[in-house]
Amino acid sequence: MGVVASLVIYLAVAVFLIGVGRKVYRYASTPAPLKIPTTPAPVTRTGVVFRMAREVVFFESLFKASLWTWVFGWLFHAGLFLTLLTHLRYFTQPVWGWVAWLAPLGPYAGMAMVIGLAGLLVRRLCVDRVRYISAPSDYLMLVFLLLIAGSGLTMRFYFHIDIVALKQFALGLLSFDLQSLPGGFALWLHLFLVSVLLIIFPFSKLLHAPGLFFSPSRYQVDNPREKRHAGGSRRQSGGSGG
Amino acid sequence: MQAAVVDKAVAAVAKPKDFDVPVLGDYLQVPSLAPGSMAHSKPFEAKPVHQEKLGFPGELIDNWQEVAVAKLGDLVKSSRGLQVYLDSCVKCGACTDKCHYFLGTADPKNMPVARQDLLRKVYRRYYTVAGKYLPKLVGAEDLTEEVLDDWYTYYHQCSQCRRCSVYCPYGIDTAEVSMAAREIMDTVGKGQKYCNEIIGKVHKLGNNLGLPEPALADTLEGLEEDVEEEIGIDVKFPLDVKGADVLLVTPSADFFAEPHIDGLIGYAKVFHQAGLSWTISSHASEAANFGLFIGSHDNMQKVALRIREAALELGVKRIVFGECGHAWRVGYSFLNTLAGPFDFLDSNYPVPQHIVEVTHDLLQQGRLTLDPEANDDKRVTFHDSCNVARASRMGSLPGGQFTLPRDVIKASCNHFFDMPANTIGEATFCCGGGGGLLTDDLVELRVKGAMPRMQALKEVNDRHQITHMAAICAICKSQFSKVFPYYGFQMDQIISVHQLVGDALVFNSDPGARRITQ
């Protein structure tokens, strides 16, 4: 079991890194022929860093758009972020101090994810406008993430697993010294779904994560009169859309 | 641009259209979906003669599917924005209630994300792994005749106003998607008559109206006489004057249409009183650039280059744009890229400048005196034009495009009242006629799309008894003159910002204006 699981995880991580890497390369090397920031926009590079930070950390635009979507969306993403950090305890030996300090927050982060995802799912089902624009994959993605978060939480509260063995497995992955995977359906499901998620990441709307950083309406500096934006040919403007 | 002129002529013969005008309530409501309610709304298609002048096939080519899919691939490879926008949407729904056309028509395909999806589903089908192998799962679709028909219908129900892009968590801009779709349709021979016919006129004669130089000269001369008769001051309207300091590039509607022309008179009075030497160019007698609307970089550049050519030929030192929304987007955001660098102009001034920036600077320097009491008969509100609000700037600070026009208006009149905060500034609603839709074959769309703005106007009117709405865009002015009567307002309640300025301007006896025309 340990070898099979390890290979699946390696495959998933490879597909994720190569797939997202290729997309990011493609985004970076595609020309941005014209200046199209949504204004009012910052007039300096520093200002853009702050604008982008507000988008990434607080979802500023979404907050302006729809309070409920913002509440659920932000809860989910903040929960996910915290969860990823707390998972570092499986991969660090000795566990980093701040990771250990965050650990007690793990279950709450997981619950925030579930609440957020459930809210988004209900909204997708009940608001006629959102239902109209939803494809099967949009529902599946939410169900998928709910199963990942749910299976993780059940291990915490009901189906306890052998944490020591799990950590050996995780550290084994990092050092290419494959270890056996402790038993438990919830754990297997959890790891399997996470692997599948990593694999579909580069081929799905999950690309919104790297996409935001390459969105000209957000990252461009509003200075077309002060500084000529050399557009047109691919060579000229590739990778220098600012 | 020319619509205000044409509208009056056509309105006399055209039958009233058979549709219900939206009823304005106490506040703006998000409608329930009415699928297909605007499926019948399509602009006239361009004729071969219009298409070919722009380098497009005259009519739908035989292998259009193949060519359209290939063109989509090209566009995605040549525009980072388009590629990111097509990939990144998570269907969160943030934009679904933001489009004025959706709010006014309830047709779900007018929700920005649904409009984008008409193109996105084809992109997914042909250019993504998921769409190639699992089309049903991810909502990917073949490019069929029905899809092309939907493109033509619904990409001509987007005024490219960018309101949705303000609210999208990734800044996805439907305007970019709609421009790409129109460019693809032009490439396969399915263009829109209104835009393409007009662009052909600009390539030939320099303006949207197709107005040749002698007619323009005649018009400007007539204006000089009118103004002198009215105020007794010899305000000049110079044309093709070599060596003038300022080249004024203004929408050609300013030469003819009401209320645009009063704006032009306002600019001329400002130049006169400030003693600036200025000229209009017959070669670049148009600020509008409909190349933007059809997403054609080549056509947009060709039109923009006329301004550079005129500036060089006349030897001016500055370029100033008149009141026109999308023209200011092209001028402010793109001109430097498309037709620059402008290092032959005076580097003490931004290139180009907006007439509102010029007037604002002159007021700050005390070189103009305004008497707001001259406009005491007016109670004014201001419509932020979409392209000015969300695709440009004025002055040196972000948001100057909101404060500068308001400063100028408040200096010109004593009674100014803003519409509700969520309908102005970056949240402003399009007039309903932008993006190449200001044509009589789309009257129903224009009336319904104006609903959110009319709602906001009604609210400020209920509280403050507004007499006039001022605007800084030729399309907005034409559109409002047309749709105001449908909502119980008078067509002459829309005015130019520089009409207010011109009427309030105090002429003193010391204009450096003597040197204007020499």
Q: Tell me the two tokens of residue B82.
A: 């388009």
User: Closest-CA residue in chain A for B347?
Assistant: A226
CA distance A121 to chain B (A): 10
CB-based contact B84 A27, cutoff 8 Å: yes
The reply to whether A179 falls in a domain is yes
CATH number at residue A149: 1.20.950.20
With CA atoms as reference, report the closest residue to B233 among B506, B448, B23, B478: B506
Q: Is B213 on the interface with A (CB under 8 A)?
A: no
Contact B83 A123 (CB under 8 A): no
State pLDDT tens for residues A95-139.
999 999 999 999 999 999 999 999 999 999 999 999 999 999 999
Inside any domain, residue A35: no
Instruction: Give long-range contacts, CB 8 A cutoff, 24+ apart: A98-105.
Output: none
Q: Tokens standing for B307?
A: 């301004």
- Which residues fall within 8 angstroms of residue B174, CB to CB, at 6 or more apart? B95, B99, B112, B115, B116, B158, B160, B162, B164, B165
Tens digits of residue pLDDT in A188-204: 999 999 999 999 999 99
- Answer yes or no: is A84 within a domain: yes
B130 neighbourhood in chain A, CB within 8 Å: 137, 200, 203-204
* Chain B closest-CA separation from residue A99 CA (Å): 30
Query: What span, in angstroms and rounded, lies between the C-alpha atoms of B511 and B505?
Result: 13
Q: In what order do the strands lie in the sheet with B380-383?
A: B380-383, B468-471, B494-496
Q: Is A219 contained in some domain?
A: no
Cα-based distances in Å from B110 to A138, B85, B117, B191 = 20, 17, 11, 20
How would you write chain A as a 3-class SS string? CHHHHHHHHHHHHHHHHHHHHHHHHHHHHCCCCCCCCCCCCCCCHHHHHHHHHHHHHHCHHHHHHCHHHHHHHHHHHHHHHHHHHHHHHHCCCCCCHHHHHHHHHHHHHHHHHHHHHHHHHHHHHHCHHHHHCCCHHHHHHHHHHHHHHHHHHHHHHCCCCCHHHHHHHHHHHHCCCCCCCCCCHHHHHHHHHHHHHHHHHHHCHHHHHHHHCCCHHHHCCCCCCCCCCCCCCHHHHCCCCC
Domain interval for residue A115: 2-22+65-204
Chain B interface includes A62 (CB < 8 A): yes
Residue ranges of chain B whose pLDDT lies below 50:
1-16, 511-518
CB contact under 8 A, A228 and B340: yes
Partner A contacted by B421 (CB < 8 A): no
Enumerate the residues of chain A whose CB falls inside 8 A of the CB of residue B119: none
- 3-class state of residue B515 by DSSP: helix
Choose between A241 and B47: higher pLDDT: B47
Q: What pLDDT is recorded for position B512?
A: 47
Contacts of B323 (CB under 8 A, 6+ apart): B250, B251, B254, B260, B263, B355, B356, B471, B472, B473, B474, B496, B497, B498
pLDDT at A237 over 80: no
Enumerate the residues of chain B whose CB falls inside 8 A of the CB of residue A30: 76-80, 83
8 Å CB contact between B296 and B178 = no
A182 inside domain: yes
Q: Let me know if residue A12 belongs to a domain.
A: yes
Q: Tell me the C-alpha distance between A149 and A197, whole Å.
A: 12
Quick one: A196 exposed, middle or buried, by C-beta within 10 A (0-12, 13-18, 19+)? middle
| Interchain pair A129, B96: CB under 8 A | yes
CB distance B173–A134 less than 8 Å? no
Structure confidence at residue B157 (pLDDT): 98
CA distance B287 to B284: 8
Q: Considering only CB atoms, which chain A residues are within 8 Å of B171?
A: 38, 55, 61, 212, 215-218
Alpha-carbon torsion (A165, A166, A170, A176), positive or negative: positive
Query: Does B397 contact chain A (CB < 8 Å)?
Result: yes
Q: What is the ipTM of this complex?
A: 0.94
Q: What span, in angstroms and rounded, lies between the C-alpha atoms of A199 and B377?
A: 68
In chain A, residues with a C-beta closer than 8 Å to the C-beta of B291 are none
Contact between chains at B167 and A222 (C-beta distance less than 8 A): no
A142 CB near a chain B CB, below 8 Å? Answer: no
Instruction: Note which residues in 96-125 of chain A have CB less than 8 A from chain B.
Output: 120, 123-124
Which phi-psi region, left, alpha or beta, contains residue B419 (left: φ > 0; alpha: ψ -120 to 50)? beta
CA-based nearest distance A63→chain B, Å: 8
Domains delineated in chain B? 31-191 (1.10.1060), 200-515 (no CATH)
Query: For residue B267, what are its two tokens?
Result: 């600019």
Residues 352-381 of B with CB under 8 A from A: 352
Q: Is A22 an 8 Å CB contact of chain B?
A: no
Task: In whole angstroms, give the CA distance from residue B368 to residue B349.
Answer: 19
**What is the tens place of the pLDDT at every residue in A41-65?**
999 999 999 999 999 999 999 999 9
SS3 B403: helix
- Residues above pLDDT 70, as percent of chain A: 95
Task: Kindly report whether the peptide bond that precedes residue B352 is cis, defined as omega within 30 degrees of 0.
Answer: yes
Q: Residue A229 is nearest to which of B79, B92, B337, comparing CB atoms?
A: B337
Q: How many CB pairs under 8 A join A and B?
A: 210
Give the chain A residue nearest B398 (alpha carbons): A40
Q: What is the pLDDT of residue A230?
A: 85
B111 at A interface, C-beta within 8 A = yes
| A238 has pLDDT over 60 | no
User: Across residues A233-241, what is the average pLDDT?
Assistant: 36
Q: Is any Cβ of chain B less than 8 angstroms from the Cβ of A211?
A: yes
CB of A93 within 8 Å of a chain B CB? The answer is: no
Omega before A94 within 30 of 0, i.e. cis = yes
Shortest Cα distance from B117 to chain A (angstroms)? 8
A208 to B77: CB separation less than 8 angstroms, yes or no: no
Task: Say what angle helices B174-187 and B145-154 make with each other, to 10 degrees.
Answer: 130
Best residue of A34, A67, A70, A138 to probe chain B, by most B CBs closer than 10 Å: A34
Q: From B175, which residue of chain A is nearest by alpha-carbon distance?
A: A36
- DSSP run (H or E) holding B494: strand B494-496
Which residue of B87, B108, B165 is in closest CB contact with A207?
Answer: B87
Give the sign of the dihedral formed by CA A105, CA A109, CA A111, CA A112: positive
- A residues 157..196 contacting B (CB < 8 A): none
Q: Distance (Å, rounded) from C-alpha A237 to C-alpha A242?
A: 9
Q: Distance, in angstroms, between A224 CA and closest chain B CA? A: 5
Residue A155 lies in a domain: yes
The domain tally of chain A equals 1
| Cβ contact A103:A59 at 8 Å | no
Strand partners, B469: B381, B494
Contact between A217 and B81 using a beta-carbon 8 Å cutoff: yes
Chain-chain contact of B170 with A212 (C-beta, under 8 angstroms): yes
CB contact residues (below 8 A), chain B span 67-106, against chain A: 76-81, 83-85, 87-98
Q: Strand, helix or coil at B84?
A: helix
* Tokens, residue B487: 């909502």
Measuring CA to CA, which residue among A141, A154, A144, A155 is closest to residue A90? A155
Within a 10 A sphere around the Cβ of B23, how many other Cβ atoms?
7
Of B80, B139, B334, Cβ closest to residue A31: B80
- The answer as to whether A169 is a domain residue is yes
Q: B353: which strand partners?
A: B320
pLDDT of residue B17: 57
Q: Which of B33, B137, B393 sits opposite A132 (nearest CB)?
A: B33
